[in-house]
Every structure is written in C-alpha cells, then in structure tokens.
Amino acid sequence: MIEFHLDPHSGVAPYLQIVQQVKRALRLGLLQVGDQLPTVREVIAQITINPNTVFKAYRELEREGLVHSRPGAGTFVRRTLATTSPTTQAELQESLRRWLGSAFAAGLDGESALALFLSTVQEFQQGAGQEEQKQEEPV
Amino acid sequence: MSDAREMNSSETIALETTHLTKRYGKTVALQDCTLSLPAGRVAALVGPNGAGKTTLLQLCAGLLEPTSGDVRVFGHSPRQRTTETLLRLSFVAQDHPLYRDFTAADLLTLGRHLNPRWNDTLARTRIQLLDIPLNRKVRTLSGGQQAQVALALALGKRPDLLLLDEPLASLDPLARRDFLRTLMDAQLETGMTLLLSSHIIGDLERVCDYLIILSASRVQLAGDIQEITQTHWRLIGPRQEVEAVASEQTIIEASHTGRQTTLLVRSAAPIQEPGAGASWAVDEASLEDIVLAYLGQQAREQARGREKLEVAR
C-alpha cells in the first residue's frame, strides 16, 4: 500500500499530485499489477483532503488505463509503468551516481546538477521528436 | 460510486443567491451577491474581516431577512419555506456556540428531540471516537473539543447543506486537522454540500474544490478552483506600461520595480506571446496569489474612490 503526501506550495493541483505519486510508484515498481490503491477514506485519514479530489485523481488514472475500480471492492492497479527490469534500473541509477560524483567534483551543487540534467532531458526529447517528424515527412 | 457523485453534482444546485443585498440602515453589509453552488461541493468563502461573510451565511441559513434579492437552498427560500429548508441545513456559527452548562450527552438529547432527521448513533460515535467525555459540562472542554461537539451536533442533523462560519479560527493546527478530517469523512459518507468561511485560504486549500471571494460586501470571484487556477497567470517581464499587454487578458494586479513588471492576469486561453514582443515569463498563479490579487484590487479601488471624493471636495 502506498502513502500519499501533499505539498501545498508546489503549485501543482492536489488531484494531480496524487496522480503523479501513483505513476511514480508504478514506474519504480512500488506498485504492481493487482495491488490495491488506498480507499478514499484511507487517503482522507492520511492527508485530510477533499474526497472529490481523490475520486478525480482515481478517475484520471482509470481513464489512462492504469487502474480499474471494482464497485464495493476498491481501486486496483491494472498496468504498470515500469519500463525496465529492477536490475536495469539499478544499473542506470549506478551510472547516474557516477555522473553526479563527477558533477560535484567539478563544483556543481545539487540544484545546478538537476537543472543541467533536466535541460538535457528536454533537449534530448526535442531532438528525438524532430527525428520522428523527419521520418514521417513524405520523401 | 464516483460516477454517481459526478452526475449528482452537475445537476443539483445546493445554494443559489440572486442579487442578494443586506443593508443595516445606511450600512451595506452585502451588495448584489449572485452565486450558484452545485451540490456535493466543498466551497471556501474567503474574504477579509468585515467583508460580509457572516451576513451571507446568516442570510443562507434564514437567520436574516434580505433587504432585496433572493436566497434559495435546494430551490426553496429559507424564510418562506422554513421547515423544508431548515431540515436540510445545518449552520455552525462562529466560535461554535453551545449551551455551556450542558454536557455533550445533554446536547445530543436536545438534538434528538428537536430534529426529525436526527441520527443519534452518528453524532454520538463521532464524539466518542475523539475521546471527548460525554458527561462533562461543555464549558470545561477544550476549544478544539467544543468545536468537535458543535460539528457532531450539526452532522447529527444529517444536513444536505452545512454552513460553517470561521470554523477553524479558534483552533490550533492539530485541532484544525482533526476538525477538517471529520468534515471530509462526513462529506464522503453523505455527499453533502459544504460552505466554510475563512479570512485565509491556506487552511482550506486542500479540502475545497470551489472558491468564493468576498470583499467590500461584493462577490469578486466565484467558481471551481481548478478552473480558477487554470485561467489565472503570473507574468514577469521587463518594466513597461500595463496597456502594452495583449487586450484579451484582464489584468487583476500589476506591480513594478525599476526594471521589472509583475502582472496577475485572467485569461481563458493559455498565454503564448503577451505584450509587444517583450519576453515575459509565464507561470500558473497559485491560489493564494489569486485570492490576494482580488482582495488587493478591491482595496485599491476603494482608495481611488476616496481620492476622487477628496478631489471633488
């Protein structure tokens, strides 16, 4: 069972924070197919939140095909987002750690390393998007 | 279950006011207030002290007669169809007034005799769950406990609409959390509509999905919170005249430093390229920023009004 938390200063809508936390748990393999999400009552007890917000988050996850709700039983994981095996993930994390080591050695702090990482991800994805477009263009 | 809630909330209007106005002699307490609260919502009524929040709530509860305009609770006027309306409505006044020489058990007995829809188990269980002694006089209980007793009585009535006037004002942070949790649990169980007033939005942000901003006796903004946050933007750019910004946006607040101009604007569409080719940083505005911008706008208008008066003299 996962536990939610709510950051009131993040600027992210509360329902979206729940959606993102479920997706994160799905990516990291903390939630597996068949696992039950906390009931709305349990979420209220955890983070004192409007029930409509929890319903909305769960509906969104259901719309994306990640969970399904069985009336009277609860909401269950239908599909996971883990793209690689836990072993591959651990290997990737290890190489990221090595990269961080050299970044810190070069004088970067956590925030600038994160900024560099995020901008590289963005650039990489844009590059990938352009590649795809090129391929789709008629020759 | 979730679908049923959705359908229900889009069809029924729990509370509707039309050009509602209340004056005491020459003093205007509430001016031309028109709003419509869908059933099943948890609404925050936010505004500074003296804005007219209590007046609005008392008009909705039928405790005051409007000077003009109309209030409807589930389609009925609380002053004309008193019995039908009051059966469906609970009102917890500011500072949770209770008969202070009664015990919680006495108050439950009173509630049972006075209310045909009363659910004694529900009210009693809530009090017991919080370990509040049933046989001590209410005056000897803590502020948080008194608030919880008042809430349990209001819920025991099984209202479809629950109005709470500044319910958190006298509570410490832990008691606030407990109080809101009880409220959210009850909302989940019954799907009731809630309207809570507060002079700060921070307390209510995580529990509300509807916002009504009241200041200087008028409704400044009312609507679904997600819609509100998706249509308000903060723009930061090089210093320039506000008029230069594209005309399809309404500027709620503008402030300038030597080099920089900060705007809070309302715009239905996402903002692409505002203002005369200048480079603006565009961010979604936080709910707190939006509330403050509307309240600030009102204060500035009042100040301008006073200046004009002085010039006229």
Q: Tell me the per-residue pLDDT of B172-183, one tens digit each, with 9 for 90 and over.
A: 888 899 899 999
How far apart (Å, rounded) are the C-alpha atoms in residues A49 and A43?
Answer: 7
Instruction: Tell whether A51 and A22 lie within a shared domain.
Output: yes
Q: What is the DSSP letter of B113?
A: H
CA torsion angle for B146, B150, B152, B157 (degrees, to 10)?
170
> Which of A126-130, B86-90, B274-278, B295-299 is least confident?
B274-278
Instruction: Tell whether B205 and B292 lie within a shared domain.
Output: no
B2, B181, B226: residue with CB nearest A48: B181
**B226, B251, B269: which is the final residue of a domain?**
B226
**A59, A77, A95: which is the final residue of a domain?**
A77
CATH code for the domain in which residue B71 is found? 3.40.50.300
Which tens digit of pLDDT belongs to each residue from B137-159? 999 999 889 999 999 999 999 99
Query: Are B2 and A49 a contacting pair at CB < 8 A?
Result: no
Query: Are B206 and A13 a contacting pair at CB < 8 A?
Result: no
Query: Are B42 and A69 a contacting pair at CB < 8 A?
Result: no
**B193, B226, B259: which is the final residue of a domain?**
B226
Is A86 strand, coil or helix? helix
* Domain that includes residue B16, residue range: 2-226
* Domain that includes residue A130, residue range: 86-136
How far apart (Å, rounded) are the C-alpha atoms in residues B38 and B192?
Answer: 11
| pLDDT for A124 | 86
Report the share of chain B in percent with pLDDT over 90.
Answer: 54
**Residues from A in contact with B at Cβ < 8 Å:** 6, 8-9, 11, 13-15, 40-41, 44-45, 47-53, 55, 58-59, 69, 71
Q: What would the two tokens of residue A6 be?
A: 């709510």
**B176, B195, B226: which is the final residue of a domain?**
B226
Which tens digit of pLDDT belongs to each residue from B13-59? 999 999 999 999 999 999 999 999 999 999 999 998 888 999 999 99
Split at pLDDT 50, 70, 90, the class of A51 is very high
How far apart (Å, rounded) are the C-alpha atoms in residues A67 and A54?
Answer: 14
Instruction: Tell whether A52 and A102 lie within a shared domain.
Output: no
| pLDDT for B3 | 42
Between residues B298 and A123, the one the model is more confident about: A123
> Is A93 among the domain residues?
yes
Note the ipTM here: 0.78
Exposure string over B173-186, b if 16+ CB within 10 A, otherwise e = eebbebbbbbbbbb
How far apart (Å, rounded) are the C-alpha atoms in residues B162 and B61?
Answer: 9
Most confident among B223-227, B249-253, B266-270 (mean pLDDT): B223-227
Instruction: Tell whether A50 and A20 lie within a shared domain.
Output: yes
How far apart (Å, rounded) are the C-alpha atoms in residues A16 and B138?
Answer: 42
Instruction: Tell whether B300 and B241 lie within a shared domain.
Output: yes
Instruction: Tell whether A22 and A72 lie within a shared domain.
Output: yes
Q: What would the two tokens of residue B40 be?
A: 């099943």
> Is A9 among the domain residues?
no
Total structural domains within chain A: 2
Residues of A in contact with B208 (CB under 8 A): 50
| pLDDT for B7 | 45
How far apart (Å, rounded) are the C-alpha atoms in residues B11 and B8?
Answer: 5
Arithmetic mean of pLDDT, B222-250:
81
> Is A131 among the domain residues?
yes
Residues of A in contact with B2 (CB under 8 A): 55, 58-59, 69
How far apart (Å, rounded) are the C-alpha atoms in residues B255 and B262?
Answer: 5
Please indicate if any CB of chain A lies within 8 Å of the CB of B10. Answer: no
Instruction: Tell whether A71 and A24 lie within a shared domain.
Output: yes
How far apart (Å, rounded) are the C-alpha atoms in residues B153 and A25?
Answer: 41
What's the length of chain A? 139
Substitution target in A43, A48, A55 with the highest count of B β-carbons within 10 Å is: A48
| pLDDT for B6 | 47
Helix (H) or strand (E) segment spanning residue B90: strand B89-92
Residue B4 has pLDDT above 80, yes or no: no
Instruction: Tell whether B57 and B184 lie within a shared domain.
Output: yes
Arithmetic mean of pLDDT, B276-287:
75
| pLDDT for B261 | 85
Query: Are A71 and B1 a contacting pair at CB < 8 A?
Result: yes
Total structural domains within chain B: 2
Residue B313 has pLDDT above 60, yes or no: no
Evaluate whether B144 touches B179 at the Cβ level (below 8 Å). yes
Cβ neighbours of B131 (radius 10 Å): 7
**A57, A77, A97: which is the final residue of a domain?**
A77
> Is A117 among the domain residues?
yes
